[in-house]
């Protein structure tokens, strides 16, 4: 009986020692505090990026607002004066109630009216060359072969045209009125064009 008690006591002691050893070996050796410290460290990183962002947003708007100043408005107002430098030539009209005709001419020419045999001479003076209208009951110049045709008409009337290098003479006859248009152009193209325009714009009025 005594031996059985000893075995039972030793068995209980062995079991207690075994349980204590198991508890010792399987107990966690590391503490979780290290994980908490590692989590706390990243919070300091975003604090360093905040200051430069606020400085950029405060400085950029100011130079952008100063660029669109009033400079382009002055450049747009200057071209408004350009049309004033383009003078348009004024036109005057030579009208003869006595011989029943009218014709426009450039007002840069000066009109001189003087009598001549059987009629009146209307001279449109210019230093570059004169345009003269002779009108009356007789021809202002003589030509042995004056023949009229409709190859070139003035005011719808057949004409006799005489040309030389310096001038052109155009005769037309309306009733008893004999008209000669004398254009001295000196061979200049600009004056020749002016003469052609003068011929084409010559008109007869109701008094003819």
Predicted local confidence at residue 77, as pLDDT: 52
According to the per-residue pLDDT averaged within each range, which of 26-30, 53-57, 87-91 is highest? 87-91
Instruction: Give yes or no for residue 100 having a pLDDT over 70.
Output: yes
C-beta separation of 96 from 134 below 8 A: no
Instruction: Characterize 109-129 residue by residue with b for buried, 16 or more Cβ atoms within 10 angstroms of its Cβ, and e for exposed.
Output: beeeeeeeeebebbbbebeeb
- Residues in contact with 172: Cβ distance below 8 Å, sequence separation at least 6, in sequence order: 148, 154, 155, 157, 158, 159, 160, 179, 181
- Percent over 90 (pLDDT), the chain: 55
**Mean pLDDT of the 137-157 span:** 96
Q: Which stretch of 5-19, 55-69, 154-168 has the lowest confidence by average pLDDT?
A: 55-69
Domains of the chain and any CATH numbers: 2-67 (no CATH), 92-204 (3.40.1000.10)
Long-range contacts of 181-184 (CB under 8 A, 24+ apart): 181/131, 181/132, 181/133, 181/134, 181/154, 182/130, 182/131, 182/132, 182/133, 182/134, 183/129, 183/131, 183/132, 184/129, 184/130, 184/131, 184/132
Q: Which residues pair with 115 in a beta bridge?
A: 120
| Residue 134 three-state SS | strand
Q: How far apart are CA 114 and CA 103, in angstroms?
A: 18
Q: Which stretch of 67-76, 88-97, 107-116, 155-164 has the lowest confidence by average pLDDT?
A: 67-76
Q: How far apart are CA 17 and CA 12, in angstroms?
A: 9
Instruction: Give yes or no for residue 98 having a pLDDT over 80.
Output: yes
DSSP 89: P
- Distances 85 to 45, 79, 82 between C-alpha atoms, Å: 72, 11, 6
Predicted local confidence at residue 158, as pLDDT: 98
């Amino acid at each position: 009986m005594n031996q059985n008690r000893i075995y039972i006591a030793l068995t209980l002691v062995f079991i207690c020692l075994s349980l204590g050893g198991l508890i010792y070996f399987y107990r966690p050796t590391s503490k979780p505090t290290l994980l908490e410290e590692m989590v706390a460290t990243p919070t300091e990183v975003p604090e360093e990026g905040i200051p430069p962002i606020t400085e950029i947003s405060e400085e950029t708007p100011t130079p952008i607002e100063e660029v669109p100043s009033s400079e382009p408005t002055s450049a747009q107002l200057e071209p408004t004066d350009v049309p004033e430098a383009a003078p348009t030539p004024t036109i005057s009209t030579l009208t003869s109630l006595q011989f029943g005709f009218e014709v426009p001419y450039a007002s840069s020419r000066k009109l001189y009216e003087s009598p001549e045999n059987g009629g009146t001479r209307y001279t449109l003076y210019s230093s570059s060359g004169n345009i003269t209208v002779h009108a009356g009951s007789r021809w202002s110049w003589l030509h042995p072969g004056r023949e009229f045709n409709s190859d070139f008409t003035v005011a719808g009337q057949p004409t006799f045209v005489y040309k030389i290098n310096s001038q052109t003479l155009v005769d037309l006859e309306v009733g008893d009125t004999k008209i000669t248009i004398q254009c001295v152009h000196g061979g200049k193209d600009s004056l020749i064009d002016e003469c052609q325009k003068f011929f084409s714009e010559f008109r007869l009025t109701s008094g003819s």
